[in-house]
Amino acid sequence: MKNLINQLLRGVVIGVANIIPGVSGGTMMVSMGVYDTLIHCITHLFKEFKKSVKTLLPYAIGMLVGIVALASVINWGLENQPLPTNALFIGLILGGLRPLLSKVNVKKINAPAVMAFVLLFALIVWMGFQRKDSIQNAETIRMDAGQVLLMVAIGMVASATMIIPGVSGSLVLMLLGYYKPVVNALSTLKDAALHADLSLLGQPLLMLVPFLIGIVLGIFGVAKAIEWLTARFPTPTYCGVLGLVVASPVSLLIQQDFSAVSTVTVLLSAAAFAVGFAVAMLLDRGVKADA
């Protein structure tokens, strides 16, 4: 039961991370030491069906709970207390670096590994500057047959960002112009469920169902590619992942407006960072206990 609760909580953190612009669900998987395990379960879902489902299901449930139940809370935090909210996730990221660092073989670091680190670090920093330039999105998108197919493709792109550490799915959706429509569809779906109003379900489901289909299709392909890279080029791959993960806090800070930061905000941010760091370490210990 304790392991199940730990898995559900990690799933919640991963789910919430996927809706934060600048934060990656893959980064949270790495920070909590479950990245390789989840990738293996995804790529071996049909070969090891029972074992894989048993591992993946608690994370999937936790992710769903995190996305649906906490999206409004996180959005409120980003609107009203952005620095403490971002500091919480920076703490989660940095507090969970140990599992990733343990996979980098220092003796085998070479030019390709260094290049992978630098290039992928630079990519995430660049994306942070893109977010700072206030990318605008339409609030809703009118759905037709062509848009349905496009939502499948958008879902496949989003799935890659959910799995690849450091690459923020929310930020990529912003770059593509689909962040607000997807978030608004999720919010409408939640309201429909809470108020048992079936009349509200049509539009959000028409957008989210093909989007989710695309996510499922994309996850398997991306997971397979990552497994192949880690098996054949482990040091450059993990150095590249490290570059993505370490750049995530930098990306978050780039987006932050420091002009109105007060002493109270700094203290709240320090406390939030400490909480995030401690939670990441506790969840990492939970992973060791699972093993």
The ranges assigned to domains in the chain are 2-290
The reported pLDDT for the residue numbered 117 is 94
Largest CA distance in the chain: 61
Tracing tokens 């997807």 back to the chain, one arrives at 182
Question: Residue 47 burial by CB count (10 A; 0-12/13-18/19+): exposed, middle or buried?
Answer: exposed
Tens of pLDDT, residue by residue over 125-178, are 887 776 555 445 566 677 778 888 888 988 888 787 777 776 667 767 766 778
Tell me, rounded to whole angstroms, the distance of Cα 205 from its chain centroid. 22
Q: What is the mean pLDDT of residues 213-225?
A: 87
Rounded CA separation 284/92 (Å):
11
Is the model's pLDDT at 211 over the cut of 80? yes
The reported pLDDT for the residue numbered 205 is 85
Is the model's pLDDT at 284 over the cut of 70? no
Question: Residue 160 burial by CB count (10 A; 0-12/13-18/19+): exposed, middle or buried?
Answer: buried
Q: Are 170 and 20 in contact (CB under 8 A)?
A: yes
Rounded CA separation 163/145 (Å):
28
Q: What is the mean pLDDT of residues 216-237?
A: 88
Instruction: Tell me which range, 26-30, 49-53, 151-155, 183-187, is most confidently predicted by mean pLDDT.
Output: 49-53
Q: What is the mean pLDDT of residues 34-50?
A: 90
Rounded CA separation 14/19 (Å):
9
Q: What is the mean pLDDT of residues 116-122?
A: 92
Q: What is the mean pLDDT of residues 115-129?
A: 86
The reported pLDDT for the residue numbered 167 is 67
Rounded CA separation 38/61 (Å):
14
Is the model's pLDDT at 272 over the cut of 90? yes
Phi, psi of 249 (to 5 degrees): -60, -35
What lies within 8 Å, CB to CB, of 111 at 6+ separation is none
Q: What is the mean pLDDT of residues 91-96?
A: 82
**Of residues 110, 108, 109, 25, the one with CA closest to residue 66:** 25
What lies within 8 Å, CB to CB, of 124 at 6+ separation is 166, 167, 243, 244, 247, 248, 250, 251
Tens of pLDDT, residue by residue over 45-79, are 989 999 999 999 999 999 888 877 777 787 788 78
- Per cent of the chain over pLDDT 90 is 20
